[in-house]
Amino acid sequence: MAIALFPLLDGETIGSNIARYGEFMGAETTLPLRRRLFGYACKPDTRLPSGVKHLAEQARDYWNLDVAAIIRGNTEFYYATATVPVKQRESMFSDMLKQPASRCLRRSASGWTGERVIKFRYCEDCLMEWREKGIPPHWLVDHQLPGVYVCPVHSSMLKVAKRSSPENMTDPTVTALKRGDDERVLVRASSSEQGAIEDVAKLSAEYRIAKGNLPSTTTYRELLRAAGFVWPTGRVDIRAFTASILDYFGPGYCQSAGLNLQKWNTWLRNISDERKSEEPSHPFMFIVAESLLNRRCASPGSFMPDSDMNHRAVSLEDIDGDSYKKMSAWLCNGILHRNNDAWKEYLIDESGWKLVCSCGISYKALRTSCHGSVLLTVTGYGERYHSLIAMRFANNFQVDHASQGCFSVNPRLLRWARVSGFSENRGLSMDAIKHLRDRWCSIVRSARPDKRITSSYRVDSKLYRTLYQYDRDWISEFNRVNRTRPMCSQRIIEGSVDSASR
């Protein structure tokens, strides 16, 4: 005889349905009901249970669903098996229909570790909509998937239930766990970051019901190449990719979802190695990467995703006099910046100002003090810089610009930039450079003779670094001539400080 249950709602977890009926019956625990439904002692937190065929038979008069409909609509089976081969998925599907051969410990087909938000999540807008339609509150499968912190239907940040069911002895309902002081999963996410997180939620929901298939590993390799993450040698720029992930989703999301550098290193190695194309990985990694790569490939002209969706563009003519004067004093430090380049865009969003130079570099302007000083942080590179990647001139285009200030360059690029008419010494005038040279000569002249350059560097390392940045050829030659030599080879060299003092 079929067991009485409430109708299974669209997208509702099986545990939520069992919990609602158990609460209605006043049961202290749902374990006996679960044993009758599944035919074995299935724990409440089992996300992919066995015995689904037995469950469908026991609930046929109230659910009127076959096993395929239950697995597709009310479990995460197709999400969890999105990266496994078809034959393995069919074998796992068959195993879910049967009774477990031994004690069932499987809770998901491909477990995700490191996520900090492990309690039940719900959407206030969903609850309000259900209340208006007379639908009881329930847990949705889509809201409990790894890294899903935004409702894919209402685009609102989910809340996490602070309460938990004690000792996994019963299936909890939404009304039992929900509290007035429950907080959103991510409180400080910006609008652009929330948009990226929402994209992950929507993709996860589609793969959960098998609406589509994950792109093949070959497609991911092509996307990585099209997005500018692959060097001409074929190697993936791991630092660039992980920095873009952090910038696109925000550090709060990456920490909460358990996305770390080690996982991305492993995932990128598996993707870039064609021999590992069939190796299963967790679908969450693929979905996060798909979201970023699609955004980057849809945003040509920048090496960073154009994820600021709610900014307000202001023409330079509309800027007031004081702001324009301050902005004109700010210098673009792009290595390909020409003398006739100037600020061409001025964008405002909730996080501050965004400036775009005609040379192609985008900056975020952050006020660092009450006196009005402003820090310009590089956020993207435009078309003029694209060829540098192909020529292998520049390194680390995608390092954390907040700490680095600009990408690092090698001497080949500096020499090429000078020959091509670009300037890298705009920050200092010749008078200023001459003054720095005189200071360095004075320090070296008074330094201890056995370690001239080393001791001079210790006296004023900042001066040394400044000259090395703006007058590298001169200081390299000067230090070479004035470097301390072994006693047997010491001689007076023309141009040295010793010859200058004689």
As a whole number of Å, the CA-based R_g of the chain is 31
Q: How many CA atoms lie within 13 A of 348 on its CB side?
A: 7
Q: Would you say how long the chain is, in residues?
A: 502
Tens digit of pLDDT at every position of the chain (502 positions): 568 899 999 999 999 999 999 999 999 999 999 999 999 999 998 989 999 999 999 999 999 999 999 999 999 999 999 998 899 999 999 999 998 875 544 445 457 888 988 889 999 999 999 999 999 999 999 999 999 999 999 999 999 998 887 677 899 999 999 999 999 999 889 988 999 999 999 999 999 999 888 998 889 998 898 888 888 778 888 888 988 899 899 999 999 999 998 899 999 988 887 766 555 689 999 999 999 998 887 654 444 433 333 333 334 444 444 554 555 556 777 766 776 777 776 665 555 677 888 887 788 776 544 445 556 777 776 766 655 544 444 444 333 333 333 444 445 455 545 544 444 444 577 888 899 999 999 999 888 888 888 888 888 888 988 888 788 889 888 988 888 765 544 444 444 554 443 4
DSSP-assigned letter for residue 139 = -
Longest dimension (CA), the chain: 112
Q: How far apart are CA 153 and CA 136, in angstroms?
A: 18
Secondary structure (3-state) at 375: strand
Q: How far apart are CA 244 and CA 295, in angstroms?
A: 11
pTM: 0.62
Matching residue, tokens 């700490």: 403
Q: Which amino acid is at 185?
A: V
pLDDT at 377: 73
End-to-end CA distance of the chain: 112
Q: Please, are residues 197 and 71 in contact by the beta-carbon 8 Å criterion? A: no
pLDDT at 385: 64
Q: Checking DSSP bridges between strand 374-380 and strand 408-409, what pairing results, if any?
A: unpaired
pLDDT at 139: 97
3-state secondary structure 240-290: HHHHHHHHHHCHHHHHHHCCCHHHHHHHHHHHHCHHHCCCCCCHHHHHHHH
